[in-house]
Structure 1
């Protein structure tokens, strides 16, 4: 664990330190596109944050290769080299898109090429665990097509969710933490060596996101751009493919008794990780809803709009920070809930906790529809928006405002009448408060 913590810290530190100079370089290079109709920020912000993320990835893998235990991954497996090759291609494509813009179909083709390069170097799905049957071996063509599809889906899911400050990096960091917990349990808890690459990929991805988040939280000083969102999406897909298609369920017989029992024991995580639909449930749902919405409206699926989940959270009244935190909450609930359920699927308490937290999440979603007010004794300790508004007390109007017709008016009575009329005039024009 200490070597993983060292790798995490080095990756985060390098990413954090590189982001400042990268921001200055992006400004000097003119990588600051104009505000678009679908953007939520108010002033041009530099992109190319993926340069710092890629630097953190390289630094993390370099340090890990020289460690005693983690370094064995580079000797036993070719997957780290495959990841670095695919990451380099997708990162270069993203840099070109951040600076000059690249057509959507060209980016899709580049994503497929990067996935194909990783497949050629051994990072591919070899078999699928099927409940009740066991592991089903895939042909080379089937494994290649499935691997490429998973990489493209994950990259675009992360790219689509990158619409608010700190949203994509935070959600991917949560997903990477869930991956790390599951993979570390398989490798060191059950001595499954095939889970070692996924464990390394997950901890490096966590460091990349943690190092970039301080610069990207609202209000963001720099955006990761496509060079960053596609990069972290590819690393996340590589971890999912490695732990799903490379870990042989036969090895799990050490702690489950048989191959079929092993598959059944890992169904809560194995089957979801195939797409991967649970760890990235929120961005994947957003991806497919966007495709359906744009196709239904007669638009191209690659045309950007303001219909994403995070845009809808802003429209119903959530603030920028609250919308990001709500997306974090649901991502963490689904990711860590799935990992907890895979560890002990027979526990009723885990299911009850997930249901209770889901109710909390629904309340948070509906928060703008009602404004809770704190009791009077707590007025000084709660934010101003939760305090009760107390209307200022008005003076009672005099019984007689104007003097009777035909009578003389003394200076005192005249002053009283004028003051009363002025108070009524101010009260009539005062804005109504809630």
Structure 2
């Protein structure tokens, strides 16, 4: 455990130190986002923060390759190198978008190429609880892997709309999944786990960048960052769950992620939900699925009266509830875990809707007062309420 904490600290520290340099480079490179109609910020802010996160991740991987516990992960497999190359590719694609606002179809094509390359390099979902994909067709395995990677990349990209929102949500999901993968690794002869190593590094780069990205942000992660986070969290999920043999794992451990293909959705529930709602909403209007609007979950939170920081904290709370709720049955009986989940969901619902409810109550009271004052005005025509008061 101490080795993983060290990897997370290295990733976070490196990202924190690289971020001011990357901010300077983003300004020189011209990657400064203009204020658009759908944006929440009011001042042009540099983007390209994903470069600092990528550098922090690469530094942590280089250090991990020299540590006694995790050194074997780099010797016995090419997966770490393939994942690192894919991370560089995804980040560079995001840098191009941060600078020149690439067409969405071109960006999607680039994501697919990188996802296929990573899958071809050995990162594949090769089995599901109901059978082996490799036995059926290697192309099926590659297709599912590529779809998962591209979907997660865009899910995090969709939710990246408030300072600190996406980095916090991914960090929460990364912590939850790191705990689960560490529990799985404890059943093996060695505690070394590539999935856990990627997750703790992911949490580290999120926290390191968040220190610069909290509202008001000095630097946005941009597509280079949001796409990188979606890519890494999915790679960690595939590394572990894609090769699990359900028959060799106790049901009490395997139950939280019954289907490996659903694990990225569990740890990234809010981004995936927001992406699905946006796609349905835009297609229903006859628009492109990538057409921008101000109807994302975070926009709705601001519209009902939350501040930027308040909306981010509440959405973090929902992400934590969903991510850790799937882990709670590891330590709690199912009925108790369900009860705790229900109570927490009720509390979060009340907190989420409180500004809207307060505003509606105030409107109702003001409306009642206006009605009373209008009915008491003698210059107005006959009013039933006034007549009723006179009769009494």
Q: TM-score, normalised by structure 1?
A: 0.79
Per the alignment, do residues 306 and 108 of structure 1 end up closer, same or farther by CA in structure 2, a change over 3 Å counting?
A: same
1:165 corresponds in structure 2 to 163
Q: How far off its partner does 1:357 sit?
A: 0.1
1-structure distance, mates of 2:230, 2:190: 24
Aligned pair count? 358
Per the alignment, do residues 195 and 139 of structure 1 end up closer, same or farther by CA in structure 2, a change over 3 Å counting?
A: farther
Q: How does 1:133-212 map to 2 (within 5 A)?
A: 137-188=135-186, 190-191=187-188, 196-212=193-209
Q: Which SS does the other structure have where 2:38 is aligned?
A: coil
Q: List per-residue Cα deviations over 1:142-193 (Å, max 9, x = no partner).
A: 10010000001100000000000000000000010011000000102x1176
1:38 corresponds in structure 2 to 38
Contact 2:69 2:192 in 1 (8 A): no
2:340 equivalent to 1:356: no
Q: How far off its partner does 1:241 sit?
A: 1.0
Contact 1:194 1:247 in 2 (8 A): no
User: Where does structure 2 lack aligned partners over 5 or more consecutive residues?
Assistant: 360-392
Pick the aligned partner of 1:241 from 203, 223, 238. 238
Contact 2:185 2:192 in 1 (8 A): yes
2-structure distance, mates of 1:30, 1:308: 27
1:83 corresponds in structure 2 to 83
1:384 corresponds in structure 2 to none
Contact 1:194 1:246 in 2 (8 A): no
2:312 equivalent to 1:315: no
| Structure showing greater Rg | 1
Contact 2:167 2:210 in 1 (8 A): yes
1:70 corresponds in structure 2 to 70
2:366 equivalent to 1:368: no
User: Where does structure 1 lack aligned partners over 5 or more consecutive residues?
Assistant: 257-261, 373-434
Q: How far off its partner does 1:135 sit?
A: 5.8
Q: Which SS does the other structure have where 2:128 is aligned?
A: strand
Contact 1:195 1:242 in 2 (8 A): no
Contact 1:128 1:138 in 2 (8 A): no
2-structure distance, mates of 1:282, 1:322: 16
Higher relative contact order, structure no. (Cα contacts within 8 Å, ≥ 6 residues apart): 2
Q: How far off its partner does 1:59 sit?
A: 0.3
Q: TM-score, normalised by structure 2?
A: 0.88
Contact 1:183 1:195 in 2 (8 A): no
Per the alignment, do residues 138 and 225 of structure 1 end up closer, same or farther by CA in structure 2, a change over 3 Å counting?
A: farther
2-structure distance, mates of 1:287, 1:192: 40
1-structure distance, mates of 2:253, 2:68: 32
2-structure distance, mates of 1:153, 1:109: 13
The structure with the greater share of residues assigned to helix is: 2
Task: Please give the root-mean-square deviation of Cα atoms over the aligned residues, in Å.
Answer: 1.8
